[in-house]
Amino acid sequence: GFGVPQPGQGHLAVGQLFEVDDRTLVAMDSLERVTEPQWYSRQAITVRPRKGGEVLTAWVYFGSPERLALEAVHAGPVPEHR
């Protein structure tokens, strides 16, 4: 599954943060097909650690809303991605 950017809507997501260098980020963009229509876009979001601490800005890959409309199965929100 994948998230779709809808500011002010949806559910909180729990996940993991990884620090990567610019070269790895370019490789991930290629893997996620950010230059192809109806695939993914990379956007900055604000994240808060569950146990407190500094609020951070992180990159996240969102699926395109057009692609979501084409998917046959919608599982709904997943409380935690592992």
Residue 81 pLDDT: 52
Low-confidence ranges of the chain (pLDDT < 70): 1-6, 68-82
Residue 74 pLDDT: 56
Three-state SS letters, 13-66:
CCCCCCCCCHHHHHHHHHHCCCCCCCCEEEEEEEECCCCCCCCEEEEEEEECHH
Is residue 48 a contact partner of residue 55, using CB atoms and an 8 Å limit?
Answer: yes
Centre a 10 Å sphere on the Cβ of residue 64 and count the other Cβ atoms it contains: 17
The residue type found at 43 is Q
